[in-house]
Every structure is written in C-alpha cells, then in structure tokens.
C-alpha cells in the first residue's frame, strides 16, 4: 500500500521511529533507528506494510534497495518481518549476499533468529537471485550524525536486544564497545553488529 513516507522524525526508540507527516505520527519498526539521530529536516523512509489480524505494522528502510532485499528475505520460509529486520540491521549486506551465494551457513546462523535449517533455506531460495544487490555500492551508509547523548551505549545495547540478540551475546560485545572512544548511538550499534558477526 505504501512505498515511502516523507516526514520529520519526532521520536526514536531502540526498536522504532515515529515519523510525522501531515499531523500523523507513523510508528515504523527499523533495524537501526538511531541512524536518524540529530536529523531535524524531513526524511524519506521506504516502508513495507504487514497486515495481521491484530495489528497493522510498518517496517522502514533508508533506501529502496534495502526494502527490496528485505522483501527477498521474508519470502524465505522461516523468516518473518522481525527476523528480516534483524538481518537487515547488520549493514554488511554485500557480505550477507556473498554468504548466500557461497552457501556459507556458518556466517548466516550468526544472525538472530536464524538457525541452521533457516540458513539452508535462505541459500536454497535466494542463491543466484541476489545479483542486483552486489553490483555497485548500493548499501554504502550515509554520513553519520553524532547524537551527543551520554546514554548512547545504553541505547545501542537496547537496540541490539530489540533486534533479538540474547543477553549473553550482548554482554559479550559490551566490554569491547565500552573500550571504544565515545561514539554516537548509531556508531555503537554498527560496531556491536560487526562484533556479533565475527
């Protein structure tokens, strides 16, 4: 129903943003909501709507290519929108596509909610169908805007939890993140995701 919504981000939480357009605040689930920290101008968020018996949900993406990759992921049996969003949160999309093409199950099971069976299904369903996502740098992240918030690390850890990572996994990367120089929430989250994929 919706391709994108253009508006101002009025609220950011570990799991979603609120995007205001024409006086309506749209709650949009995001893999990394903190990429919008500090952005006061209007932004375009590509969305995918999921209608369930008990809810109408919006899943958001910064780029059309991200949305298209998400749609490919949720077409796989065993991957729902929440798992798809958690997979998309890791910004090494080219690495994920390469792992699918190479049948690298060990890499794919590092994503939250992806077991061996689901990883094998990803390879089976998507291998050879993701060529468009590795041509050119489609997934280059935009320049980060520092949040300037002292609770940036706490917010980033909460975002990892919202994506489905276990307390044990989060504790494993927390020490390494604390050792970094002060970062924005977005930067902490990106670093945490990279560490979790190692």
CATH of the domain at 42: 2.40.50.140
Residues 51 and 87 placed together within one structural domain of the fold:
no
Instruction: Say if 156 falls within a structural domain.
Output: yes
**3-class DSSP state of 50:** strand
Instruction: Note whether 173 and 190 are within 8 A (CB).
Output: no
Residues 52 and 40 placed together within one structural domain of the fold:
yes
Instruction: Say if 142 falls within a structural domain.
Output: no
- Give the pLDDT confidence of 106-144 residue by residue, as tens digits: 999 999 889 999 999 999 999 988 877 765 444 444 444
Could you list the beta-strand ranges (E) of 22-147. Answer: 24-29, 43-51, 56-61
Instruction: Say if 88 falls within a structural domain.
Output: yes
Domain boundary residue, one of 61, 82, 102: 61
Instruction: Say if 104 falls within a structural domain.
Output: yes
Residues 41 and 91 placed together within one structural domain of the fold:
no
Q: What is the pLDDT of residue 139?
A: 42
- Give the pLDDT confidence of 164-182 residue by residue, as tens digits: 888 888 888 888 888 888 8
12-16, 42-46, 87-91, 118-122: least confidently modelled range: 87-91
Q: What is the pLDDT of residue 67?
A: 94
Owning domain of residue 157: 152-196
Structural domains of the chain, count: 3
Residues 125 and 70 placed together within one structural domain of the fold:
yes
Supply angle C-alpha 187, 156, 85, rounded to 5. 90
pTM for the full model?
0.80
Helices 167-178 and 152-162: angle between axes, nearest 10 degrees: 150
- Give the pLDDT confidence of 34-80 residue by residue, as tens digits: 988 877 789 999 999 999 899 899 999 999 999 999 999 999 999 99
């Amino acid at each position: 129903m919706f391709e994108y919504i253009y508006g101002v981000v009025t609220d950011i939480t570990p799991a979603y943003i609120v995007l205001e357009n024409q006086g309506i605040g749209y709650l949009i689930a995001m893999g990394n909501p903190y990429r919008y920290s500090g952005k006061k101008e209007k932004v375009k968020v590509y969305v995918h709507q999921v209608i369930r018996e008990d809810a109408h949900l919006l899943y958001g993406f910064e780029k059309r290519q991200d949305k298209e990759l998400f749609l490919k992921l949720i077409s796989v049996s065993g991957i729902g929108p929440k798992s798809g969003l958690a997979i998309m949160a890791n910004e090494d999309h080219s690495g994920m596509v390469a792992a699918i093409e190479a049948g690298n199950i060990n890499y794919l099971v590092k994503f939250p909610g992806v077991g061996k069976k689901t990883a094998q299904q990803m390879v089976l369903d998507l291998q050879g169908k993701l060529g468009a996502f590795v041509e050119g740098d489609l997934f280059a992240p935009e320049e980060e805007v520092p949040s300037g918030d002292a609770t940036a690390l706490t917010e980033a850890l909460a975002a990892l939890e919202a994506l489905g990572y276990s307390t044990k996994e989060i504790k494993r990367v927390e020490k390494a993140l604390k050792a970094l120089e002060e970062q924005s929430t977005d930067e902490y989250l990106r670093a945490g995701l990279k560490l979790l994929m190692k």
